[in-house]
Structure 1
Amino acid sequence: MRRERTMPLRRAKPDQDGPADQDGSGPGPEPGPGPGPGPTGGTGRRRRLVVLVAVGAAVVSGAGLGAATLVKSPEQAAADAKPPAASVLTAPVVQRVLANTTVLRGTFAAGQTFAVQPAAVAPSTGGPGGGTPVVSALKAAAGDTVQSRQVIAEVSGRPVFVLPGTIPAYRDMQPGQSGDDIAQLQNVLKGLGISTGGDAKGVFGAGTKTAVGRLYQQLGYPAAVTGEATAAAVHTAQQAVQEQQQVVQDLQDGATAAAGTAGTADTGGGKGGASAPAAADSATRLARAKTLLTQKQQELAQAQAKDGPQLPLSEVLFLPSLPARVAAVPAKVGDKVAAPVMTLTAGGLNLTGHLPPADAALVKPGMKVTVLSESTGRELAAKVGGVGAPVTPGAGTGTGAVAGAGQEPAAGAGAGGSPYAPVTVLPDSPWDPGLDGQDVRITIVEAATSGEVLAVPSSAISSSVDGRTTVTVVAADRSRREVEVTAGVIADNFVQVTAKEGELQPGDQVLVGVAQARPPGASGGTGGAGGTSAGVGAG
């Protein structure tokens, strides 16, 4: 510290003209209004000088202290510029049920909805079929009632008609086939007064083939037929039979001629007749030719049994209950069939969900579904019945596209909003009629664990080049150990993991990333190099 120097006060000299004391010093002059400074004036000036000196010293000391704080060595400046050490991000191992779900909205509507969308043009006695299906006539309008055997539309000149039945058409029903769908067709034909002859139940034989031909005759259209392939097979088999018949005829003629020559030789006593071995060989060749002819005839019968009238998938719509109602007709005459032509409703309540098209590939028939009626709080168990092709509301496609004449139930027409894929939801038990018209939440379970499992955030999973899957457990002392796991269901950014017994427990902290702090002066938060998850904490 800088010392402050003060000057001693000197006593004023005595007046030389005044009396002096005995020791040589007098009392000094009396204060008066003389021209010289008195004692009070000199002291004030000295005090001001002391104050100024003290303030100056304080200023100099403060400036020196400030300079000391601003001046740093190069080593200190470099250390201060370094970013803080990285912070390990961890998350706890949890034990929970994992379910990968898709949530969407849906609406209950009275009656099951069926889409009509012929996917092909069947061959018939009036033409070869094929080509792009085009709407050539609409025979029903929205709101109309539809009865059995009623033609509701024409596509490329071919009829689309309705028949009663609970089994949807899923294939072209052709001669030679068998199954429950064939048995249903036979029952329908008999109910319409058309006999199927002596065909066995569920077998599309000659009698059923004739009955289908009569059905088309009653509808006023040429019968749909199996097409060029079966007709060509019949033609080939017929040629084979004719050729073999000629072979048999030639052998028979040769045998007859040989027998006549032998008789003449015997009568004339000559030696030029056919020998007995030659006659036997001719007989053998004839027998073989006849056997082959029988085989060719059987092949012809088989080819003919598979050829002729059929009931194609693109021309029939089986409905579980009739009469039905036309819900919407989004198509118009002249449209190429790229979406449903018409939608019909029949039966009880149906539920159709609107699924974002991007998620359509994830949803499969049979997946479990939970339906929540938010107005009543009820949860209903169901399953996915089917997923239709994407629909753009207002673009002339009232419902989801379905193969054939549209046996897949589809969404109701006229829904507004964004494009969607219609999802048919089938109940585990019949829907309550009181749900009619309700908008509900549909949760589709794509994958789920059977119970509680160990799970970690997906960012905790590491895969090595040798195919091993691991997580890194971080202990309380920040030490780490790698645990090999088997990954399972993935849901809600969590992954089911299975490790060797005792190596991984609920509550263990696993590494999910490293948070690298930003350099001094940088703005923003902390970025995780390995990613973070909800509930992740920095260690």
Structure 2
Amino acid sequence: MGKDYGMIASRVNVLWVVLSAVGGMALGAWYMGSRIQSPAEMAARTAPPEPSPILVPVESRVLSTDVVTRGTVRFGLPQPVSIAPSTVKGGAGLISSLPRPNTPFNEGEVLMSASGRPVFVLRGAAPGFRDMSPGTSGSDVQQVEAALARLGFDPGPVDGNYDQKTSAAVERMYQKAGWDAFGPTREQRAAIAAIERDWSDAARSRLAAETARDTAVKAVAAARAIGEQNIRQATIDSAARYGTAKQLADARAGKSLLVEAERARGTHAAAMADADIKTQVADRALVVLDPRQTEMTKAAAEAKLRVAQSAQRKARVEAELAIENATREASLADERIKAAEGAVKAARLEGERSVRAAQEQQTLSEFDVKVATERFERLDRELAAARARLGIQVPADEVVFIPSLPIRVHEVTAVVAGSASGPVMSVTDNELSIDSQVAIEAAPLVKPGMKVAVDEQALGIKASGVVETVANTPGTRGVDGYHFYLGVKVENTPVPLAGFSVRLTIPIETTKGAVIAVPTSAVSLAADGTSRVLVDRGGRQEYVTVQPGLSTGGYVEVNAPNGQLVPGQLVVVGYKTAEPVAMK
């Protein structure tokens, strides 16, 4: 049976060989028949094909000339963070908490803590160097006010003056962060109490000085009144003692009324005495001649006559004595006048002295009032200023200023329980920067502030940035001597680019906006030297004269009169010829 099976297999193989040979012969016959053509067919197939135009649309686009280079993305350069000592706290505290490296921080967040107190991070170009409290003013206060305003805590005018509104805003910032604001210290309150005591003493001293001044003013008025009264009294006393001024003047002129009066009185007394003697003489004569009268009566009459004669002599003597006395008194008129004038003058001088003494006392009392008032007002201002400063404070060791925020902790150099003074860590900007370079010939074209397109096609990265730094000399900051260092700041991007190598495209010349542009191959030169483009208008082609502008990246700006070119129109950039049909 095995033998029969081998014979059958051999026959099948032979059959397959025969069939393969027949099929190959048939295929060769078909191929040779397809290659045989008539002369007409060969002429038709060898004629050149008609060319067709290559059309592209007119575009509206921004054209620019670019500088292209590469760079490596990194976070900002590390910058140290230092804690300034606080005078109001009397010394540096101890660090109680520190952040971990790579921890990000935004403005207004607590960076670390020292002795149980927070250290806030705020944006500011100048570092903090002193304690701030109500009444403080300066650029550091203005930085705090600007930060408070950005954080939504209204500090009032951002004018660099730390007032009560600023104090209230600082307190709200502390409260929102979960901390108590730093209020007045025990020493500050004790200083306020001491000023208040001095102020009270000054107020009492001023009141006592004002009372003494009022008394002195009244004493001056009293001295004037007393002086005037003394002058009047002296005048009266002089008149009573020495006579009136007229009498004294008359006596000085020899017209003393007293002398005249004494003379008249003496004359009258003498006349009376003479009349009495004559009467007694007549009475005695009647008695003597009357025989009826007795001797006694005659003796009485004689006695009366003698008495009358004695009275006459007495009157004469007294009159002479009185006149003599009056004359002597009149002769002393000048001395009496001087005495009277002296008494009045003495009274006047005494009054003036008393008034002057009272005025001097008034001047002294007014000076005391001035000194007391100045001291009171000075202490009043000091007290008001001290009370105004007795608000919420910002100690120097509770805030650090960073020029650019947010930040990321780069390295922590301090340790917990160490002194909270001096450098404690370094941070970097949370914003990305790119270290790059440009060739010497391209460096003069690149300026800080220019926009930069950042991309890397292989990674699908696209971002934007701005030129931040262009070195002044080649070969600095790690680049070779044929290039200038270029620093680019990356604008906000959600893509984590740190550490990647990216391509940078810097537009050097731009059309400053979208313009009408066509491929450079669409522009040709006419016989008269003008530039033109061939526009396709639904199968009909027409030349349009244009004024070319900036050309870059394979495109050229064109300006056609009367709006003959608009975006979307088709222009001819070349022609293509159809492939010849293969001969069969």
Instruction: Report the TM-score when normalising by structure 2.
Output: 0.36
**Who wins on radius of gyration, i.e. which is larger?**
2
| Higher normalized contact order (CA 8 Å, seq sep 6+, divided by chain length) | 2
| Higher fraction of helix | 2
TM-score (norm 1): 0.38
